[in-house]
Chains A and B, each alone.
Chain A
Amino acid sequence: MPASLSCQSVISVRNIVGTSIYNNSGTRTRYVTAACCKNRAARIRVGKGDRPLTYEQALHPHHIGHRKGWLSQHTSNLQGEGGASDRTVEEVFVRCFLFGTFHNCLANEIVIKRRGNMLAVCTLMLQKLPPQKLYFLIGYTETLLSHFYKCPVKLEVQTLEDKAVYKYL
C-alpha cells in the first residue's frame, strides 16, 4: 500500500528523535521514544521491594506543596525579592557540610529555615554516636558555620533510633 510505504520511508532509523505516526491506524509502525521523555528527577524507581524509603524520598517532586513540604525556607524566591542564588549556594554548602560531619547519622534530608538573620538547620539524626560526641559535633558545626556566614547558625537536632520508613520499593 502506498500510504504505509511512504510512512516507513519517513521513519528514521536514528533512535534519538522520537516520533509516533498517527496517520495509519492499523498498520504497525515503529514507535521510538526519546531518552529524555520520562522524568527522572528526585525519583526512586520501583524495584524488588527490599529498599526502604523515607516519606521524603517516596514522594515525587510534583507533590511539593500538596503532600510534601519545602526543605529550605527563605524569602528570596518570592515576587520582588532577590538573593536567590546566594541562598542556594549557601544551602548546598550547608547540606554537604552536615552530610560529611554527621556521616551515616542523618535520618532524613536537612531542613534549613531562615529567621531574620539567623539560620536554623533542623535535622533528624540516628542514635549512632554517643551523646558527648554528638554535642561536640553540634557545637563545632554551629561555630564553624557562623564564622563562615557571619550570622548566627542554630542546629535543631532530633534523634531517632532507626530511619522512619514510609514504604519499600
Chain B
Amino acid sequence: MAKCIYNLYKKKYKKTIKPIITPIPMEAAFHRFLGQSVTEEDNCPAPTKIMAAPMVVGRNIRTFGRIFVGVSQSFLQGSIGLNACRYHGRSTLFRPLQLPAACLHTGTFSSSLPSSVIVTEEPDTLYQKVAVLVKGHDKAVLDSYEFFAILAAKELGVTLGKVFEPPRNIERLTLLKSVHIFKKHRVQYEMRTHYRCIELSRVTGSTAQVYLEYIQRNLPEGVAMEVTKTSMEKVPEHILEPMWNDPLTEEKPSQ
C-alpha cells in the first residue's frame, strides 16, 4: 500500500499576492479539487459578499484559508447543497450541514450559473485510512476543533475510525536570566504541544479531498495539521501468481 504524507501548515511565498483579496467562486474550488477541469463557463460571478473573513486564493488551496468557522460554514453549506446533485456518480452525496447555534452568519449564498463539468473515467483513488493529526498550544482549541471535525464527518457521511489524543510534548529551555554574569540565576521557559488525531477509514480520494479542504479552511490560527493518507493499490499482475507454478516463463531466462 502506498503511503503519502504531506504537511499542510506551510506557507508558500511563491509570488507577490495582491493585497486586495478576491474571493474564489466556491464552484471552481470544488471542481479543481475533484480533479475535473474547469471550463470557461465556470467563471461565475463572486457569489457572496463575505468580507468579514475573505478566502485566500492560491495555487495550493490546501495551504490556505483558515478563516472564521461560521462564515466559511455558511459559504460552503450553500455550495455543498448545490453540488450534491451534480457529483452524484463520483462522490458521496452531501447533505447541508446542521451548524451549531453560536456561529457567525454573514453573507448569503446566491445561486450561480450552472457550470459544465467534465467527468473523467479514470478510477478514483481509495484510501484505507486518512489520519489527520492536529497540533496546538491550547487544549481547549483542539477540543472544539475535534468536535467540529467529527460533526462535519458525521454530516458528510464519512466513516470515522478512532479519535484519540496522543500524549502532549513539552519542550523546556533553561536560559541565563541576565545578559552578563549571574550564572546562578536562570529563567525557564516551556513550549507545550498538544495533539489530537482523527482517523477516517475507507474513503475515496474525492471525498477525502473535499473533507480535508473543508477542515483546513476552518483550521484555527495557531493550530497545525498533518495528514497521513494510506491508499490501496491493485496488486500488479506479474506477482499475483508465484513463478514456480508457471513452467513457460521459466524457460525464457534459461535460454
Contacts and interface: CB of A to CB of B under 8 A. Distances in A.
A120 interface: yes
Contacts of A81: 9, 135, 224
A75 B13 contact: no
A146 B221 CA distance: 19
A151 to B, nearest CB: 6
Contacts of A151: 11, 13, 17
How many A residues are at the interface, by size bracket?
A: 20 to 34
Q: Chain B: interface secondary structure?
A: loop
Nearest to B61: A116
Contact of B9 (A75, A79, A113): A75
Nearest to A69: B138
Contact of B58 (A70, A78, A117): A117
B139 to A, nearest CB: 10
Interface string B2-22: 000000010111001111010
Contacts of B67: 115-116
Contacts of B222: 70, 73-75, 113-114
B182 interface: yes
B160 interface: no
A49 B192 CA distance: 36
Interface string A1-44: 00000000000000010000000000000000011110100000
A16 B137 CA distance: 39
A150 B137 contact: no
A129 B17 CA distance: 31
Interface string B50-78: 00001010100001111100000000000
B137 A70 contact: yes
A36 B185 contact: yes
Interface residues of B, number: 38
A36 B19 contact: no
A78 B221 contact: no
B58 A77 contact: no
Nearest to B62: A116
Contacts of B126: none
Nearest to A79: B193
Interface in B1-50: 9, 11-13, 16-19, 21
A150 B13 contact: yes
B17 A153 contact: no
B67 to A, nearest CB: 6
B221 A73 contact: yes
Contacts of B192: 65
B169 interface: yes
A154 B182 CA distance: 44
A143 B184 CA distance: 48
Contacts of B63: 116-117
A152 interface: yes
Contact of B182 (A36, A75, A114, A120): A36
Interface of A: 16, 34-37, 39, 65, 70, 73-75, 77-81, 113-118, 120, 142-143, 146-147, 150-154
17 contacts: A16-B181, A70-B222, A75-B223, A78-B135, A78-B136, A81-B135, A115-B219, A115-B221, A116-B11, A116-B64, A116-B65, A116-B66, A117-B17, A117-B63, A142-B19, A150-B17, A151-B11
